[in-house]
Chains A and B, each alone.
Chain A
């Protein structure tokens, strides 16, 4: 029922990864957003922060519960999706749309762009086929 896009990599923690020119764009899968329900709050690392594969790098909160976000790859955060942040530069964000993660998890709901420090880690991720079997 949930959409799994071909050509992306996936993790057991239900994140997706798209790799272009040494930069990974990551988000959570359609299956994950469906399980969480209405998403209302997201905490992400800032550009310049280092993240490590398999370690917590943020939090995704639905109405009911908070879930950790694990980084599927290691590297430096080059961009965080501003639409998912309640506050930008200390000010209320008028373009705050956490619901993008529900409505468009592989598109407008993307979360981070990470410059890969260990590109070989990609090989440990799941293919779309493998991920479909998991869910």
Chain B
């Protein structure tokens, strides 16, 4: 049997094929990895003007009911208690050991909460939520919540880049300048009942549109058309990765995993230890007073070679101190850069390290992150 038949397609699949995208399986979906112009050109377009992304493979899980907020507060490490409806927050979801199950966006609505989860973790997080709901809501004087996976019904279209607002404003009556960073409004694109959210994963200003699948193609076409004079073009998952990498946004499976705490992965700022009980709080509590043994660093290769995920990191004395979590040629800086999680001791900006690439030690140097600061309205706080 043909394997491809079993893979899911987003509502925009035909558009990607028509555009001659290189399609590949990602998290069970056939997704565009790159278009004929290539990753570097796509990357540069987002940095200089704007690009359009199909992110419909990502998961949306809604939590409804009287106890929805309390349940979410118990599951996430960040704090939504002071968050107004219409706001978004970034948070790790931790396991009982303090490791990261996933990193998610929390959308607080009037009557429900929506979690946007990584495509590859969708089923894991959904099951995790259901399990926690069962326990949490069975406690005395609590009522059950409804946990609904809406992933199959919703498409996500992102427009990212310094020209994103100008382009999107042409096709919506909503005053986009009034949508602040990490906030959202309902409706307003092509008569669709979706959400316009000022969020992104590129380091650039931009919006993510959550729309019903049946409206996705019309919106995609309309926005692309509106952006023609700006050179707006579709961008694949390949450039999405290099864009987030330069902005030092962590990626689950790379910087984040089930065995590594948020404090070692550079997202300790999103853990609110002063808040009431939440999963992972006990093992993480010690980081109120002590620094974790490992930390995330950025580095630049000083000799030819590209560090890749899982390459080992050594200090100048030849001691193994950690592992590369992401590494790539940086299209914006034209350098070979990397992110790594290493033993904290003796490592600071400027420290010389070595990366083992195919059995060879290649010199590198610890440098400041993010590698690139784009047009994003407000950079996330960075604790490290």
- A interface list, Cβ under 8 A from B: 37-38, 40-41, 43, 59, 61-64, 66, 85-87, 102
Looking across the interface, which residue of chain B has its beta carbon closest to that of A34? B22
Contact with A along B292-320 (1 / 0, CB 8 A): 00000000000111101000000000000
Instruction: Assess whether B242 is in contact with A63, with CB atoms less than 8 Å apart.
Output: yes
Return chain B residues, CB-CB under 8 Å to A63: 39-40, 238, 242, 328-329, 331
Is B228 close to A, CB under 8 A? no
Contact with A along B251-291 (1 / 0, CB 8 A): 00000000000000000000000000000000000000000
C-alpha spacing A86/B22, complex, angstroms? 28
C-alpha spacing A63/B236, complex, angstroms? 13
Return chain B residues, CB-CB under 8 Å to A40: 40, 306, 329
Is B187 close to A, CB under 8 A? no
Most chain-B CB neighbours within 10 Å: which of A62, A64, A102? A64
**Given A38-B38, A40-B329, does the pair A64, B238 have CB atoms closer than 8 Å?**
yes
Most chain-B CB neighbours within 10 Å: which of A62, A63, A64? A63
Instruction: Assess whether A41 is in contact with B38, with CB atoms less than 8 Å apart.
Output: no
Residue from B238, B242, B308, B331 in contact with A66 in the complex, judged by beta carbons closer than 8 Å: B308
Return chain A residues, CB-CB under 8 Å to B343: none
8 cross-chain CB contacts under 8 A: A37-B238, A41-B306, A41-B336, A43-B304, A59-B358, A63-B40, A63-B331, A102-B38
Instruction: Assess whether B39 is in contact with A64, with CB atoms less than 8 Å apart.
Output: yes
The size class of the interface chain B forms with chain A is: 10 to 19
Looking across the interface, which residue of chain A has its beta carbon closest to that of B20? A1
Return chain A residues, CB-CB under 8 Å to B331: 63
C-alpha spacing A43/B301, complex, angstroms? 15
Residue from A38, A43, A66 in contact with B40 in the complex, judged by beta carbons closer than 8 Å: A38
**Given A37-B22, A59-B358, does the pair A86, B329 have CB atoms closer than 8 Å?**
no
Return chain A residues, CB-CB under 8 Å to B329: 40-41, 61, 63
Instruction: Assess whether A87 is in contact with B303, with CB atoms less than 8 Å apart.
Output: yes
- B interface list, Cβ under 8 A from A: 22, 33-34, 38-40, 238, 241-242, 303-306, 308, 328-329, 331, 336, 358
Minimal beta-carbon separation of B254 from chain A (angstroms): 13
Return chain B residues, CB-CB under 8 Å to A38: 38-40
Looking across the interface, which residue of chain B has its beta carbon closest to that of A68? B358
Return chain A residues, CB-CB under 8 Å to B305: 41, 43
Residue from A37, A61, A85, A102 in contact with B306 in the complex, judged by beta carbons closer than 8 Å: A61
Minimal beta-carbon separation of A57 from chain B (angstroms): 13
Q: A37-B238, A59-B358 are in contact. List 6 more A-B contacts (CB 8 A).
A: A38-B38, A38-B39, A38-B40, A40-B40, A43-B304, A63-B242
**Given A37-B39, A38-B39, A63-B329, does the pair A86, B238 have CB atoms closer than 8 Å?**
no
Most chain-B CB neighbours within 10 Å: which of A38, A43, A62, A102? A38
Closest 5 CB pairs of A and B: A40-B329, A86-B304, A63-B39, A38-B38, A38-B40
Return chain B residues, CB-CB under 8 Å to A59: 358
**Given A59-B358, A63-B238, A64-B238, does the pair A41, B304 have CB atoms closer than 8 Å?**
yes
**Given A37-B39, A38-B38, does the pair A66, B306 have CB atoms closer than 8 Å?**
yes
Return chain B residues, CB-CB under 8 Å to A85: 304
Minimal beta-carbon separation of B364 from chain A (angstroms): 14
Return chain A residues, CB-CB under 8 Å to B336: 41
Return chain A residues, CB-CB under 8 Å to B306: 40-41, 61, 66
C-alpha spacing A34/B336, complex, angstroms? 22
Return chain A residues, CB-CB under 8 Å to B34: 37
Minimal beta-carbon separation of B58 from chain A (angstroms): 20
Looking across the interface, which residue of chain B has its beta carbon closest to that of A92? B304
Looking across the interface, which residue of chain A has its beta carbon closest to that of B308? A66
Looking across the interface, which residue of chain B has its beta carbon closest to that of A96? B304
Return chain A residues, CB-CB under 8 Å to B242: 63
Looking across the interface, which residue of chain A has its beta carbon closest to that of B41? A38
Return chain B residues, CB-CB under 8 Å to A86: 304
C-alpha spacing A86/B331, complex, angstroms? 15
Minimal beta-carbon separation of B329 from chain A (angstroms): 4
Return chain B residues, CB-CB under 8 Å to A66: 306, 308
Residue from A37, A43, A61, A87 in contact with B38 in the complex, judged by beta carbons closer than 8 Å: A37
C-alpha spacing A62/B329, complex, angstroms? 9
Looking across the interface, which residue of chain A has its beta carbon closest to that of B22? A37
Minimal beta-carbon separation of B38 from chain A (angstroms): 5
